[in-house]
Amino acid sequence: MTSLLRSTFYLKGIAYLTAIMPMLVQAADGESIMIRGGANPQAMPCISCHAPDGKGMPSAGFPRLSGLPQAYIAKQLQDFRSGSRQNPVMQPIAMSLTDEEISAVAKAYADRPKVNVNHVKNPNPTPGSGAWIALRGDWGKNIPECTLCHGPDGVGIGDAFPPLAGQSPLYLENQLKAWKGEGINGKNKKALANLPARHNDPNQLMQHIAASLSDAQIKSVSEYFGNLGDSTELFDESQHRLR
């Protein structure tokens, strides 16, 4: 091959690559990211911590991702990137994912099964218990009932209000403490302009609630939602409609 021919092929090759590059980027495969990680090796395979079924590892505080809304998952990954949600494990991973990978992996998890909770009929919580806070709130301290935003039985509402049922007591407690500015992320608390480790909630909805909850209330309400469990019965959306 003459050098002229060679360079023509080379140029054609470049032109071809440039043409398919956007397609390759678009085609980020969510399932593959879960199992093999992102293109950047720092974006580790999600399954190693969030489990092969996407239901997380309760005892380690690794949350469930299976069935969470796509927009919520993508938002959390963007928040880890920006630092409005601080966590030493997830921040480097989120920073190593491209925007396309974030939307692909968020969609793949959103397509997995949602948490399936048995509907609690005529609940009769003991005043002051975790169930009471979840279902009635503590209005003396301006704490609304959690189900107001997180849905009946804590199954979540729409894109913005994530499910609490299906997450472990430990993970829920960690989040409430991160919003309060305490707990495992507490040492990061002064890192970003004196804000708590998690300050990514619209209108500081959760920061106000977490700050009003005592540590004992955080524990009991986390245990309530964390133990609602994942039923094996068929999911029946109508059971969880707001009254």
- What does DSSP assign to residue 159? T
Stretch that binds ligand HEC, among 15-23, 72-80, 114-122, 234-242 (CB under 6 A): 72-80
10 Å CB burial of residue 195 (0-12, 13-18, 19+) is: middle
Part in contact with ligand HEC (CB under 6 A); list of ranges 6-14, 20-28, 63-71, 116-124: 63-71
Of residues 74 through 113, those in contact with ligand HEC by CB under 6 A are 75-77, 87, 89-90, 93, 97, 105
**Binding segment toward ligand HEC, per CB under 6 A, in 19-27, 114-122, 173-181, 232-240:** 173-181
**Which residues neighbour 61 within 8 Å (Cβ) at sequence distance 6 or greater?**
168, 170, 171, 174, 184
How far apart are alpha carbons 68 and 220 in whole angstroms?
23
Answer yes or no: are the C-beta atoms of 64 and 115 closer than 8 Å: yes
Q: What are residue 192's DSSP bridge partners? A: none
- Count residues near ligand HEC (CB under 6 A): 46
Question: With respect to ligand HEC, which residue has the nearer C-beta, 8 or 48?
Answer: 48
How far is it between the farthest Cα atoms of the chain? 87
The answer to whether 131 contacts ligand HEC (rule: CB under 6 A) is no
Nearer to ligand HEC, 8 or 68 (CB): 68
Q: Which of 7, 26, 48, 82 binds ligand HEC (CB under 6 A)?
A: 48
Rounded to whole angstroms, how far apart are CA atoms 105 and 100?
Answer: 9
Nearer to ligand HEC, 26 or 214 (CB): 214
Question: DSSP of 56-118, one letter per residue?
Answer: -BGGGTBPP-TT--HHHHHHHHHHHHHTSB--TTHHHHHHHS-HHHHHHHHHHHHTSPPP---
Return residues touching ligand HEC (CB under 6 A): 33, 38, 43-44, 46, 48-50, 61-63, 65, 68, 73, 75-77, 87, 89-90, 93, 97, 105, 133, 143-144, 146, 148-150, 160-162, 164, 167, 172, 174-176, 200-202, 205-206, 209, 221
